[in-house]
Structure 1
Amino acid sequence: MNKTKIALLLVPFFSLNLLAQDDLAQEIPTAQITPKLSVLDSIKSTFVTHEIANCVDQEWMKELSNQELFAEMQSDLASVDPDVKVDYDLSTDLLKARLKEMDAKSPFNIEYNEGLENIIKSYLKNRKKSYERLMAISEYYFPMFEASLAKYNVPLEIKYLAVVESALNPHAKSRVGATGLWQFMFATGKQYKLDVSSYVDERSDPLKATEAACQYLSNMYKIFGDWDLVLASYNSGPGNVSKAIRRSGGQQNYWNIRKHLPKETAGYVPAFLATMYIYEYHKEHGIEPKRAAISYIATDTVAVKREMTFKQISDLLDIPESQIKLLNPGYKLDVVPNIKGENHFLRLPLEKVAVYASNEDKIYAYAAIEDAKRERPYFTRKATPAATAQVETAVASSSERSPYVDYSEEVVKGSKVVTKTKYHTVRKGDNIGEISQKYGVSVAEVKKWNRLRSNNVMLGAKLKIVTNERVATTVVKKTPKAVKKDTTETAIASVEKTTRNSKEIVLPENDAVKDSEYYIVEKGDNLGTIAKKYGVTVDQIKEWNNLEETRVLFGSRLKLIRGENAAIETKAEKAEQQIATAASVRQYLVKKGDSLFSIAKKSGVTVENIKEWNDISNENIKPGMKLKIQG
């Protein structure tokens, strides 16, 4: 009974003790190991960020950049025949009534005819799904189109022209080279100030191409005074429309001159009107548009003040590269260039524009660090052909051993620049800009090596790439150690012969080859320590690397030129050293009763000297041994 009472009394005591231990454990903070941050993570951790309001869905990005709808539209324009009847459940009377309603509120001449009815029915029968997708894409582009069209007083219905021209694909390219949402040819694009260069193609820039299209359409309306004829001239050119008017006896209604127009243009205006009808009456025909994940008004532009790649922007802003490409189709190489006298802008979702604008300096600093890491070609001063031949002769002769001299060998590790030729197989998604960046060469060089006239590369093609790379080398340095013969005259004569040969290949001072290499800045480095390490001056390092300040960034690469301050050691100088060494070496024949101590005393050297020169570890010598004595 007493044991039970004692146990009951002890229970609260242990409980309180355990609770106290729990409280103590909570009070002691656990040690947290903070991982080392990369430069990218360090910069991003200081960003002023906002809640993400919108994100472009992956499927939506694929949809906006698809080529399938453009191919279908091009096929329809080439093959659809307005004179072929199509069986579809749409009464002619109902269609007439709807077309009349459209005509009442449009500057276009929308009148019923059998050809238009056949094309409308063909599209409704065969392309319903395509129009559901196109209507989703148009949610993004139409607000931008309408703003520009209103600015130039062009009918807003012209927005449907981009659907017919490109299926709303900014990267669309026709078989004859027309490019972008509005399918501008190169010459017409240049005429309307659309820049086309290695870096940009403004025919693919939605905003600038739309502006140019509005200007072109306005000019054509001043000529023809009829929007149907303007559409026909947009497709086939004003010259063909003028010829069709003459051939029809001066008639100026599109439907009256249609038979005199090129075959493709004959179906062009009906295709435009059919597209307009389907957009206006899609609900009545059970077409349910897919919704856009982002609208044009949810994006904005920011001026870019230094060259940046899409990858750098993607890493910094946590936005997929595919989304940046989607919003900025005018940049051909996935690079926003920085060209003097030109302004380049980047379109981003609104919340990303805010992050970019708030952290611009940090973003450019990161781009500078990344650019410094990029491998660049190594440069060496070219020697004259004669000097090059002399150097090669010197290198070859340096490997010959004199039979009279004993050599010691030292393995010296270094590096040299070699030129390598590689071949890159073009894969799906590759472009010439990404390929050139991968190998650290320029686009112009890739085009030159492969005789390319444009930036287009074919899938499966093998591209020749020439690179300069620094590789590790191992050189065995041979140093004369002692003469093998009893007399020095023969050895001296041999070395003098080598000297005479070597003097023929001594380079003049101005032909000295100076080889450049690159040094990666380590933690704690400064220009002073680096200069001291390589035997050069701070001013020289600044000159070689175009530096204005003495501060250098961790991880950056500095160009250093070896041999800038030191004279080149020639073969002749080495030979002279050999002569001096050979002339000072003699041999001593050990006699009975000799010891290292007595020989050293006679020769005026130390016992340790004799041991070192003869590679002996103890003092045991025998009569008849030959010992090398220097001096």
Structure 2
Amino acid sequence: MLRFILILLAPYALFAALTFSTNNNKDVELLKTFDIDSSFLYDEKLNEMKSSERARYQYKHFFQAMDNAYIFIPRIKEVLNEYNVPAEFLYLAMAESNFSTKAYSKKRATGMWQFMPRTAKLYKLRIDDYVDERRDLIKSSKAAAQYLTYLHKKFGKWYLAAIAYNCGGGYLSRAIKRAGTDDLKVLLDDKKRYIPRESRLYIRKILALALVGNDEDYLIDNEYEFLLNRGNAYSLATVKVARGESLSRISKLIGIPLKELKALNHHLSYDFTPPDVKTYDIYIPYVKLSEFKQKYHPESIKNIYMVHTVKAGESLYSIGKKYKVPYKIIKDFNKLTTNRLSLKERLIIPVAVSKHSFHDKKYYMVKNGDTLDSIAKANKVSIGFIKSVNNLKNNTIKIGDKLYLNE
């Protein structure tokens, strides 16, 4: 009888063994994408974190973040692939921000990939009154892929690129020199503390998230198997719209809730695209692309919306005079209840297109190697004029500074 029972149970035991073997092989392959040896699967802290991550993210964080990001995850994977960065680095973005483009840290890091201003400008992400492209789903992902590619080229291994992304390339270089090796287990030594505690946890967190996301059986058991395929059915489309175009108008044209459209375009500081370029990229669900192509035609706009930051000594009257707009219009447009302004207060100015051309370079973004003298000569204005218009006390300018070149 016992022999008969064992014969019946044998296929189930074999299936369980095959399932374990299959899952284990997948986990080993996942570690290989990070250039990590398979023995790290037995890292005590990784397994503790993996269990705690599963418990923590089971119903609230992990699955909610994956579900919320379903529409753009495929496009981000495409971007990573374009730069030959392993798709599993998607979980770096999850570790940084839970895929939130609105994420902001005390250290001034912003966006899904948590770029600091200096690094963002290095990778040509625009940050000014109109946009913060660290919040741009695609442009920030391209910048992150470029940065990770640079770190991988510098350190030679993907796990080192991930660690350097967190603690900085300089810090990691010094840590490797002190340790005498770039071996992961050595760098993660809690007693030697070659790298910061945050970074020691950081690489494990990325791996823990990736292992959970890679575990198909776990997703199915918890009724989240739809996440395995949902991302393939939806995607994001990039479309070009005219300068000063309103998201409100686009939402009505293609029949998408404004809140949903804004969520895909958090890089825009206001409801409108920058007024100083001919066209600008925004994102819509791919399923709306055909409708957009059929219905969208740039309108002949009467006003361009500019953002003005109040400087010392300015009044509504002087600002209105500068932009040739009645100060009462500025007051009404910004729903001001008083004429008194605060220093550094931001006002949206509806500037008449007929009175103000943006094709004559309203402002100039300072690039590497620029000086006030070179900018003045190139734009046929005096240094004194630039200093006066931009309220500069000396000739010092920095990369990324925005200089107005005409009244």
Normalising by structure 1, we get a TM-score of 0.43
Match of 2:98 among 162, 167, 170: 167
CA drift at 1:335: 1.2
> Quick one: structure 1 residues 437 and 304, their matched pair in 2 at CA, closer, same or farther if it must change by over 3 Å?
farther
Question: Structure 1: how far apart are the matches of 2:158 and 2:236?
Answer: 32
Query: Residues 348-378 of structure 1, C-alpha deviation per residue, up to 9 Å, x if partnerless?
Result: 23454434433444x514x54999xxxxx88
Match of 2:203 among 255, 258, 269: 269
CA drift at 1:274: 0.5
- 1:499-518 counterparts in 2 under 5 A? none
Task: Quote the residue 1:472 is aligned against.
Answer: none
Q: Is the 8 A contact 1:132 1:288 kept in 2?
A: no
CA drift at 1:217: 0.6
Q: Indicate the RMSD between aligned Cα atoms, in angstroms.
A: 4.0
> Quick one: structure 1 residues 244 and 226, their matched pair in 2 at CA, closer, same or farther if it must change by over 3 Å?
same
Task: Quote the residue 2:78 is aligned against.
Answer: 147
CA drift at 1:141: 2.7
CA drift at 1:295: 6.9
> Quick one: structure 1 residues 437 and 224, their matched pair in 2 at CA, closer, same or farther if it must change by over 3 Å?
farther
Is residue 260 of structure 2 the alignment partner of residue 335 of structure 1? no
> Quick one: structure 1 residues 421 and 379, their matched pair in 2 at CA, closer, same or farther if it must change by over 3 Å?
closer
Match of 2:27 among 93, 102, 116: 102
Task: Quote the residue 1:207 is aligned against.
Answer: 138
**Structure exhibiting the larger radius of gyration computed from Cα positions:** 1
Is residue 219 of structure 2 the alignment partner of residue 289 of structure 1? no
Task: Quote the residue 2:342 is aligned against.
Answer: 450
Match of 1:185 among 84, 102, 116: 116
Question: Structure 1: how far apart are the matches of 2:118 and 2:254?
Answer: 37
Question: Structure 2: how far apart are the matches of 1:466 and 1:321?
Answer: 20
Match of 1:278 among 209, 212, 217: 212
Question: Structure 1: how far apart are the matches of 2:330 and 2:254?
Answer: 37
Query: Residues 113-147 of structure 1, C-alpha deviation per residue, up to 9 Å, x if partnerless?
Result: 11111111111233211222123234323211221
Question: Structure 1: how far apart are the matches of 2:320 and 2:276?
Answer: 30
- 1:20-419 counterparts in 2 under 5 A? 98=23, 101-104=26-29, 106-108=32-34, 109=36, 110=38, 111=40, 112-129=42-59, 130-248=61-179, 250-258=180-188, 259-281=193-215, 283-284=217-218, 286-289=221-224, 297-340=234-277, 343-350=279-286, 352-361=288-297, 364-365=299-300, 368=302
Question: Structure 2: how far apart are the matches of 1:304 and 1:356?
Answer: 10
Query: Residues 239-284 of structure 1, C-alpha deviation per residue, up to 9 Å, x if partnerless?
Result: 1111211222x11112211231112111000101100111111533
- Structure 1 runs not aligned, ≥5 long: 1-93, 372-376, 383-416, 423-435, 456-464, 468-543, 548-631
CA drift at 1:545: 6.6
Q: Is the 8 A contact 1:131 1:289 kept in 2?
A: no
Query: Residues 281-301 of structure 1, C-alpha deviation per residue, up to 9 Å, x if partnerless?
Result: 153363333858887854423
> Quick one: structure 1 residues 316 and 180, their matched pair in 2 at CA, closer, same or farther if it must change by over 3 Å?
same
> Quick one: structure 1 residues 379 and 332, their matched pair in 2 at CA, closer, same or farther if it must change by over 3 Å?
closer
Query: Residues 42-86 of structure 1, C-alpha deviation per residue, up to 9 Å, x if partnerless?
Result: xxxxxxxxxxxxxxxxxxxxxxxxxxxxxxxxxxxxxxxxxxxxx
Amino acid at match of 1:216: Y
Q: Is the 8 A contact 1:145 1:210 kept in 2?
A: yes
> Quick one: structure 1 residues 381 and 325, their matched pair in 2 at CA, closer, same or farther if it must change by over 3 Å?
closer
Aligned with 1:211: secondary structure?
helix
Q: Is the 8 A contact 1:136 1:289 kept in 2?
A: no
Amino acid at match of 2:117: F
Query: Residues 301-339 of structure 1, C-alpha deviation per residue, up to 9 Å, x if partnerless?
Result: 321123122223334443221011012121111211231
Task: Quote the residue 2:335 is aligned against.
Answer: 439
Question: Structure 2: how far apart are the matches of 1:194 and 1:184?
Answer: 10
Q: Is the 8 A contact 1:136 1:291 kept in 2?
A: no
Query: Residues 136-178 of structure 1, C-alpha deviation per residue, up to 9 Å, x if partnerless?
Result: 2343232112211211111121111111111011111112111
Amino acid at match of 2:142: E
Whose strand proportion is higher, 1 or 2?
Answer: 1
Among the aligned pairs, what percent are the same residue?
27
- 1:576-591 counterparts in 2 under 5 A? none
| Greater relative CO, 1 or 2 (CA 8 Å, sep 6+) | 2
Question: Structure 2: how far apart are the matches of 1:239 and 1:266?
Answer: 16
Q: Is the 8 A contact 1:338 1:344 kept in 2?
A: no
Amino acid at match of 2:62: Y
Question: Structure 1: how far apart are the matches of 2:123 and 2:330?
Answer: 42
> Quick one: structure 1 residues 174 and 102, their matched pair in 2 at CA, closer, same or farther if it must change by over 3 Å?
same
Amino acid at match of 1:302: V
Amino acid at match of 2:57: R
Amino acid at match of 1:260: Y
Task: Quote the residue 1:490 is aligned against.
Answer: none
With 281-290 and 270-279 compared, the bigger mean Cα shift is at 281-290
> Quick one: structure 1 residues 546 and 99, their matched pair in 2 at CA, closer, same or farther if it must change by over 3 Å?
same
Question: Structure 2: how far apart are the matches of 1:194 and 1:157?
Answer: 24
Amino acid at match of 1:288: E
CA drift at 1:379: 9.3
> Quick one: structure 1 residues 319 and 370, their matched pair in 2 at CA, closer, same or farther if it must change by over 3 Å?
farther
With 122-131 and 234-243 compared, the bigger mean Cα shift is at 122-131
The alignment covers a number of residue pairs equal to 308
- Structure 2 runs not aligned, ≥5 long: 1-18, 306-315, 357-407
